[in-house]
Structures are given as C-alpha cells and as structure tokens.
C-alpha cells in the first residue's frame, strides 16, 4: 500500500482528497501546518507528498526545500497560486509537479500515479549509459567518446536521464517536456527536437540514422543502450 502525505490547511479540501485518494486504496497521512508536515514526513516516509503552498505557519516553498535536504520523495504541489513566478519558485525549490485548484479527480490520480512511477524508477536508477564507444555517467555528468570528453548541456543530461529511467521503452514527448522544461514548456516541442538533434550529433556515429536515440513517430522517443547499462 502506498502512503500519501496530504499537507493542506483547508478541511474541505482534505475531505475531498480523502474521498478521492482513499477510494483508490491509498493510505493517507494528514497535516494542516508546515511544522506538522515536516514531522509526519520524517516519521512516515511517505511515497508521495501532496502540498498546498498557502500554509498558515510556513510557506510551502520552504517546506519543499526542507524536504529536499533529506528526501527525493515525489512532491506534487496542489495550490490556488497560478502565476508563472509562483509555479517556477515551487519547481525550482524541488517540486516534481504542480496542479492548480480547482482540480479534477482523474487528473489528480493520474499525477499521483506518475509520481509513484518516477519514484519506483529512481530507486533502480541507471547511472551509466553505454552507447557504443560513448560512455555517459549521468550522476557525475561526465561523457567520454573515442576522441575524448564530450560536452553535454544541462538540458541534454536531463533528457538522457528521463529516457534512461525507461530504457527500451517509449517515453512520450509530453513527459519529456514536463520533466525537463516544466509544465509551462508543454506547448514548445521545438526545444525538445533541438535537444534530441544535438544529442544525436554528439553521441551517434551516424546522426541521420540513429541507433540509440530513436524517434517513435507520433509518440515520443526511445533510448537503446549497449551491453546493458551499469
């Protein structure tokens, strides 16, 4: 059974979340203040945090930073704050996703399932990729090829990391955009196409006929590796 910590000071919202998530079989822990939330997070080690930013004692962004000091647990912000600056602040602090109120039950459940999947993949995270003569250490952010070091940008490492968590499987374009560029980048697929093209030019022996970074038309991208990944 997955454990979800609900950090929300409005009783009516907690009642809704209790009905939606409890009805799906999740075990729920609740906190109505930031101070209580940090205690419950350390005590129960939940699988997902659902966090409202407007808490009465501590701002939610501060809670995110505190949790990120000791835990990689998926944090999904559930907030009435809708400005771009507020979303960016939460994501930069370490939140994994951002849902604005009012929200639909199906969307909430889908975001929670996505967070749980990311958490499961991260526990078995691939840190070193072997693409023919090229070796990429995603943890240390070091890339070497037959001619020496290869420089990859921050976005290129992030895209590779997202693909590596599902090696051999199709990763949807929308997932890559959300995880790398955030929810506000979903409408700009050009950034992703440019990033994939640059990665192929740096890592593939024949970029026009890629062997490792494969496009699945209408779906997304797939990453293949050689000899299993370390």
The model's pLDDT over 172-202, given as tens digits with 9 standing for 90+, comes to 888 888 778 776 677 778 899 999 999 999 9
Do 109 and 143 sit in the same domain of this protein? no
Percent of the chain at pLDDT above 70?
Answer: 93
What pLDDT score does 230 carry? 37
What pLDDT score does 212 carry? 96
Do 139 and 52 sit in the same domain of this protein? no
For the cut 50, the answer to whether the pLDDT of residue 228 exceeds it is no
Torsion of CA 152, 85, 7, 162, to 10 degrees: -20
Answer yes or no: is 229 within a domain. no
By the 10 Å C-beta count (0-12 exposed, 13-18 middle, 19+ buried), 230 is classed as exposed
Note the Cα 116 to chain centre separation in Å: 10
Do 117 and 33 sit in the same domain of this protein? yes
What pLDDT score does 184 carry? 66
Answer yes or no: is 139 within a domain. yes
- What angle separates helix 154-164 from helix 189-203, to the nearest 10 degrees? 90
What pLDDT score does 84 carry? 85
Answer yes or no: is 134 within a domain. yes
- Rounded to two decimals, the pTM is 0.55
Q: Determine the structural domain holding residue 188 and report its residue range.
A: 128-223
Lowest mean pLDDT among 22-31, 87-96, 163-172, 183-192: 183-192
Do 59 and 99 sit in the same domain of this protein? yes
């Amino acid at each position: 059974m997955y454990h979800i910590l609900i950090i929300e000071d409005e009783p009516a919202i907690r009642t809704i979340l209790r009905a939606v998530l409890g009805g799906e079989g999740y075990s729920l822990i609740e906190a109505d203040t930031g101070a209580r939330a940090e205690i419950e997070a350390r005590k129960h080690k939940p699988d997902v945090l659902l966090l409202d930013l407007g808490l009465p004692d501590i701002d939610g962004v501060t809670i995110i930073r505190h949790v990120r000091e000791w835990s990689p647990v998926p944090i999904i912000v559930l907030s009435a704050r809708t400005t771009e600056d507020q979303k960016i602040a939460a994501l930069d602090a370490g939140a994994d996703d951002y849902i604005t109120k009012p929200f639909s039950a199906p969307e909430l459940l889908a975001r929670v399932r996505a967070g749980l999947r990311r958490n499961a993949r991260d526990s078995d995270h691939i840190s070193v990729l072997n693409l023919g003569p090229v070796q990429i250490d995603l943890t240390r952010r070091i890339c070497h090829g037959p001619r020496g070091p290869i420089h990859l940008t921050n976005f290129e490492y992030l895209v590779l990391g997202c693909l590596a968590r599902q090696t051999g499987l199709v990763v949807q374009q929308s997932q890559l955009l959300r995880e790398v560029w955030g929810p506000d980048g979903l409408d700009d697929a050009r950034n992703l196409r440019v990033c994939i093209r640059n990665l192929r030019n740096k890592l593939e022996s024949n970029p026009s006929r890629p062997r490792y970074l494969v496009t699945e038309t209408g779906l997304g991208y797939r990453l293949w590796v050689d000899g299993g990944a370390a």
